Amino acid sequence: MDLVWLIPLLPLIGFLINGLGRNVLPKAGVGIVGCGVVLVAFLLGCGVFSSVYAARQAGEAASFTLPVFDWISAGNLHVSLSFLVDPLSAIMLLIVTGIGFLIHVYSLGYMHHDAGFAKFFAYLNLFIFFMLLLVLGSNYIVMFIGWEGVGLCSYLLIGFWFKNSSYANAAKKAFVMNRIGDLGFLIAVFGIFATFGTLEFSGIFPEAAKMASGDTTLLLITLLLFVAATGKSAQIPLFTWLPDAMAGPTPVSALIHAATMVTAGIYMIARSNILFTLSPITLQVVAAIGICTALLAAAVAVTQNDIKKVLAYSTVSQLGYMFLGLGVGAFTGAFFHVLTHAFFKALLFLGAGSVIHAMSDEQDMRSMGGLKKQLPVTYVTMLIGTIAIAGIPPLSGFFSKDEILAHAFAHSNVLWVLGFIGALFTAFYMFRMLFLTFFGQFRGTAEQKSHLHESPATMTIPLIVLALLAAVGGLLNVPAALGGGEALAGFLEPVFADSAAKMGPIHLEHSTEYVLMSVSAIAAIVMAVVAYRQYVSKAVVPDADEAPRGVLSRLSYHKFYVDELYDALIVRPLNALSVFFYRHVDKSGIDGFVNGVGKATGESSKGIRLLQTGNVGFYIFMMVIAVAALLAYGIFNG
Amino acid sequence: METIVQNMQGVPLTHYILFCSLIFTIGVIGVLIRRNIIIIMMSIELMLNSVNLLLTAFSVHSGDPSGQVFVFFIMALAAAEVAVGLAIIVMVYRNTQSVDINALNRLRG
């Protein structure tokens, strides 16, 4: 426990070694350093987790603050670099380092032929460092450092192949959208400091628990924090960066845009849960935006043909479910979904990477098909991942999604219905992806067919580990209705205790829960069968890009024209404003003024120069005039 | 001696002032109008002398000898100035073969 400070430090050291030595270190060395630091961090994290677990078993609140040093001390503002270890951050720590380690190992195989191999591992380690700061921080400032840092690493990694300008633009888009959210975070932090006088969680949350529900200051603070969360976790309106972020290498998509960075928003809201519980309006906004995003993204994913885009929209959709969970007060459920989603989404992305690797960097599913013969391990693991995300019992996705939907039902039937519709879409498009990729006849070129091969062990072993986790992860929080112990809820209980006290437990009969569970499970299986009939029995292949489509299909295929909308509403006016400022304010105005001063000096000097006639008589005359003037002045004013 | 002073005091001061101003003005006009450097030097001497005369007149009329002492200063200064000025004129003549001040316009801007 005393070595907690070592956990973020090790990836930072890995970043420095690999970053500075990127041109001199051999690939094996880079790999050992890059993966080794994360592995050691994971092992230390296991030690930390076991201490927290033991404390929880003993019935304590298990919240440990470990200060490292005092950083800012100015007037009333005292910010220190200190780490908070409690059940919530312990689990996030394991997710970040554990899944991070698996993805590092995967990258050994995936990025092996890339010239920027060492740079990639340096950036990955830097990302792990910042993410660990985010989850381990004990005050909003350390969390914010991590928050901004992961945005930076996201930019660096999305634009990793920066020579392609569209990839660089995607990285820029991600960073700018993240920054819009960061502004909300910063203003919220100012508000928190003004209200509570401190930025430490241990100082804020007990104070906040004494405040009244519906307090306006808290409402504003939480709304701003939620804006930050929409930017980081890709919700409406700041979600369009995530599909574009697929420009980055697949391990990046798995780590950053599935398992860790995008869950930072949910972690932040879970950490600040008491502030949100005291602002019911914000919670309604959170739930509304969560479900809208979930449905919008699911509707778009149904017609996408790029395997990574399907998974990207799926991520946005599942994040929407997590926010829905937070909005209806299912904090444990939302966090449980974070956990299971990390398992199966990372698995799905890594599997997609394996497929892309086998297909010689082809990502269009219309050129795939029948790959289960050549990529058996990838197929089986992706099958497990697809079943998990579709919410089919007994895999993990069923338990987490169902907990959210049960709370939604207790809150409002409409939310449950919309969530259910989203789950139908989810099952359909995920199985569509699976069938188009692995079943039927191979539709690619002969060249691609000759290169088809299963991925090396460095890539398949992480897939297998994640598949196991996705399969059995549900056992972490089996609901009471099914006779389970709700282990995760019990473990996280002290983190959400104040909120639970204010909200009160939900009252849902076990019989209602059974009905809800069976309805969603059966519906998911039905949608899987529908997808099977469409894409395997009838072997339908999606249309080419230019083919005519119906209205709904066109809306979905073109992502509901959201990017075009933003372009027209925001990008173009900003560009016009920028051009105006450039031409009329900067070039004509400011440059004109500055140049004008120079010109005026030049012109006036040209005029005054004419006084230098060189004519002595003229000079004497001027002297006489001057003396006469002085005399006159002396007479009249003296 | 007193008769000279009394006779001098017999001439009213205003006459002296008017007379010296006139001479001074003539000197100034001479400096401004004439083109020959030597004539300009003469006009400058004229101005100095008019001031000398006026100072002496004031000294006599107020009985204070410091005016006349100042006249000595001015005479010494005029002598030095003429020496330097004539030396410059000689150098200018050697370079431009003329004593016309309009020939010295090489510093034209």
Q: What pLDDT does residue A614 have?
A: 82
Counted domains in chain A: 3
What value does the mean pLDDT take over residues A157-162?
92
HEC sequence for A321-377: HHHHHHHCCCHHHHHHHHHHHHHHHHHHHHHHHHHHHHCCCCCEHHHCCCCCCCCHH
The domain ranges of chain B are 2-98
Q: Which residues in chain A have their CB less than 8 angstroms from residue B102's CB?
A: 615, 617
Contact A49, A92 (CB under 8 A): no
Same domain membership, residue A631 and residue A550 = no
The string of pLDDT tens digits covering residues A243-291 is: 999 999 999 999 888 878 888 999 999 999 999 999 999 999 999 999 9
Same domain membership, residue A181 and residue A130 = no
B2-98 domain in CATH 1.10.287.3510? yes
Helix (H, G, I), strand (E, B) or coil at A542: coil
How many beta-carbon contacts under 8 Å exist across A and B?
32
Q: Which of A540, A557, A574 is the last residue of a domain?
A: A557
Q: Amino acid identity of A539? A: A
The string of pLDDT tens digits covering residues A72-130 is: 998 888 899 999 999 999 999 999 999 999 999 999 999 998 888 999 999 999 999 99
Q: What pLDDT does residue A536 have?
A: 84
Identify which of A609, A613, A621 has the shortest CB distance to residue B32: A621
Residue A80's H or E segment, with its range, is: strand A77-85
Distances (CA, A) of A206 to A83, A223, A412, A461, B7: 18, 20, 30, 45, 114
Q: Which of A70, A105, A138 is the last residue of a domain?
A: A138
What angle separates helix A376-390 from helix A413-438, to the nearest 10 degrees? 170
Candidate ranges A431-440, A550-559, B47-56; pick with highest mean pLDDT: B47-56
Identify which of B32, B105, B109 has the shortest CB distance to residue A620: B32
Give the whole-angstrom CA distance, residue B18 versus residue A295. Answer: 110
What value does the mean pLDDT take over residues A396-412?
90
pTM: 0.82
Residue A575's Cβ-count burial label (10 Å; 0-12, 13-18, 19+) is: exposed
Same domain membership, residue A199 and residue A76 = no
Same domain membership, residue A512 and residue A441 = yes
Q: Which residues in chain B have their CB less than 8 angstroms from residue A615's CB?
A: 101-102, 105, 108
Residue A65's H or E segment, with its range, is: strand A64-74
A609 at interface of B, judged by CB pairs closer than 8 A: yes
Q: What residues of chain A, 351 to 410, have a C-beta less than 8 Å from chain B?
A: none
What value does the mean pLDDT take over residues A204-220?
88
Q: Which residues in chain B have their CB less than 8 angstroms from residue A612's CB?
A: 107-109
Q: Is the pLDDT of residue A139 over 70?
A: yes
Domain membership flag for residue A156: no
Sign of the alpha-carbon dihedral angle for A453, A454, A458, A462: positive
Same domain membership, residue A576 and residue A552 = no
Domain membership flag for residue A308: yes
Distance from CA of B56 to the nearest CA of A (A): 22
Q: What pLDDT does residue A480 have?
A: 76
Contact A329, A410 (CB under 8 A): no
Contact A11, A146 (CB under 8 A): no
Interface contact A617-B106, CB threshold 8 A: no
Same domain membership, residue A229 and residue A292 = yes
Q: Is the ipTM of this complex over 0.90?
A: no
Question: By residue range, what is the domain housing residue A351?
Answer: 163-557
Q: What pLDDT does residue A546 have?
A: 77
Which of A611, A616, A623, A627 to mutate to probe the B interface, most B CBs <10 Å? A616
A610 at interface of B, judged by CB pairs closer than 8 A: yes
Give the whole-angstrom CA distance, residue A50 versus residue A42. Answer: 12
Give the whole-angstrom CA distance, residue A556 versus residue A637. Answer: 89
Same domain membership, residue A465 and residue A334 = yes
A598 at interface of B, judged by CB pairs closer than 8 A: no
Interface contact B32-A611, CB threshold 8 A: no
Identify which of A614, A615, A620 has the shortest CB distance to residue B31: A620
Dihedral pair phi/psi, residue A334, rounded to 5°: -60, -45
Q: Which residues in chain B have their CB less than 8 angstroms from residue A624's CB?
A: 28, 31-32
Residues in chain B: 109
What value does the mean pLDDT take over residues A534-547?
81
Interface contact B109-A614, CB threshold 8 A: yes
Same domain membership, residue A220 and residue A82 = no
Same domain membership, residue A489 and residue A358 = yes
Q: What pLDDT does residue A123 have?
A: 95
Q: Which residues in chain A have their CB less than 8 angstroms from residue B35's CB?
A: 617
A166 at interface of B, judged by CB pairs closer than 8 A: no
Name the token pair of B52: 């000398």
Contact A238, A281 (CB under 8 A): no
- DSSP β-bridge partners for residue A539: none
Q: What pLDDT does residue A145 have?
A: 95
Domain membership flag for residue A446: yes
Averaged in consecutive runs of 10 residues, what is the pLDDT profile of chain B (109 residues)? 76 92 96 92 96 94 92 96 95 89 77
Same domain membership, residue A538 and residue A609 = no
* Chain B residue nearest residue A627, CA to CA: B28
Same domain membership, residue A477 and residue A582 = no
B38 at interface of A, judged by CB pairs closer than 8 A: no
Report which DSSP code applies to A78. E
Place of tokens 């809820």: A489
B28 at interface of A, judged by CB pairs closer than 8 A: yes
* Chain A residue nearest residue B40, CA to CA: A617
Segment A502-511 long-range contacts (CB within 8 Å, at least 24 positions apart): A502/A209, A502/A213, A502/A274, A502/A277, A502/A278, A503/A277, A503/A329, A506/A329, A506/A406, A506/A407, A506/A410, A506/A411, A507/A410, A508/A406, A508/A409, A508/A410, A510/A480, A510/A481
B26 at interface of A, judged by CB pairs closer than 8 A: no
Same domain membership, residue A221 and residue A90 = no
